């Protein structure tokens, strides 16, 4: 069994102390930085854009996992590659030509991920799963941190795991939204590989210990 990964979502950081919070994650047991880019069109919120990501990357020493919640993501693939993203995830619901978009991401040297909204079936990935480095199952409706976890996620994870195994793919399963110590173990048992955690980590009184305990819980 490969190691399970923890990806704190910077959306929940203190943006007035961003360098401090990035260094705190550098010095924790976390594996990745999860970066949420929202355009106010695909989701009803705007997070931050390229200048902020550039400065995060300047200080970050771990894998940069960028989650694009934007329409027409193809326009910005090269920009995110140039900034230094390791993984670029686009939404299934935002891509008419998903296969083309995935190939374009991989052509830059980045890993390609596809995110699914809570209502989107994992079975829609049947014909593209072998091309995907990661699938991000949204366990909240995208747009905001701090929402509560949607329980139907467990069965989606199991169904996706079954699809990945059946197709002999090596796709990682990431869970994003409302992840805490209450659901982490059950998610991993269902097949999850990467757990994104925003509020649970950054709003904790001791984020470093919170990451350490979450990691211990799933590995």
Task: Using CB under 6 A, list all residues that contact ligand DX5.
Answer: 9, 11-12, 34, 36, 67, 140, 142-147, 176-179, 196-200
- Choice among 39, 65, 133, 176 that is catalytic: 176
Out of 31, 32, 67, 116, point to the residue binding Zn ion (CB under 5 A).
Answer: 67
Closer residue to Zn ion, CB minimum distance, 36 or 133: 36
Closer residue to Zn ion, CB minimum distance, 69 or 98: 69
What is the dihedral sign for C-alpha 201, 197, 218, 28? negative
176 noted as active-site residue: yes
The SS3 assignment for 125 reads helix
CA atoms within 13 A on the CB side of 124: 18
Size of the site for Zn ion (CB under 5 A): 3
Q: Which residues of 59-97 are buried (b: 16+ CB within 10 A; e: fewer)?
A: ebebbbbbbbbbeebeebbeebbebebbbbbbbbbbbee
- Choice among 21, 31, 36, 193 that is catalytic: 36
* Position with the least CB separation from Zn ion: 67
Closer residue to ligand DX5, CB minimum distance, 73 or 142: 142
36 binds Zn ion (CB under 5 A): yes
Closer residue to Zn ion, CB minimum distance, 108 or 141: 141
**β-pair partners for 134:** 113, 172
Write the CB contacts of 175 (distance below 8 Å, at least 6 apart in sequence). 136, 137, 139, 153, 157, 187, 192, 194, 195, 196
29 noted as active-site residue: no
Give the nearest distance from C-beta 86 to ligand DX5 in angstroms.
16
Task: Give the binding site for Zn ion (CB under 5 A).
Answer: 36, 67, 176
Q: Active-site positions?
A: 36, 176
């Amino acid at each position: 069994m490969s190691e399970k990964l923890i990806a704190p979502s910077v959306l929940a950081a203190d943006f007035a102390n961003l360098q401090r919070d990035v260094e705190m994650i550098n010095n924790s047991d976390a594996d990745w930085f999860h970066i949420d880019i929202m355009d106010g069109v695909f989701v009803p919120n705007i997070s931050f854009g390229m200048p902020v990501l550039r400065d995060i990357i300047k200080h970050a020493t771990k894998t940069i996992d960028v989650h694009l919640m934007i329409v027409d993501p193809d326009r910005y693939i090269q920009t995110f590659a140039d900034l230094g993203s390791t993984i670029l995830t686009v939404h299934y619901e935002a891509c008419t030509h998903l296969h083309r978009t995935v190939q374009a991401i991989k052509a830059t040297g980045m890993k390609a991920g596809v995110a699914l909204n809570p209502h989107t079936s994992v079975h829609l990935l049947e014909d593209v799963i072998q091309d995907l480095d990661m699938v991000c199952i949204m366990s909240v409706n995208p747009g905001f941190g701090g929402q509560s976890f949607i329980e139907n996620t467990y069965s989606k994870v199991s169904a996706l795991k079954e699809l990945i195994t059946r197709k002999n793919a090596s796709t990682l399963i990431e869970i994003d939204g409302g992840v805490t110590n209450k659901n982490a173990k059950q998610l991993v048992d269902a097949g999850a590989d990467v757990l994104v955690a925003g509020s649970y980590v950054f709003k904790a009184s001791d984020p470093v210990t919170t990451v350490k305990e979450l990691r211990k819980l799933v590995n």
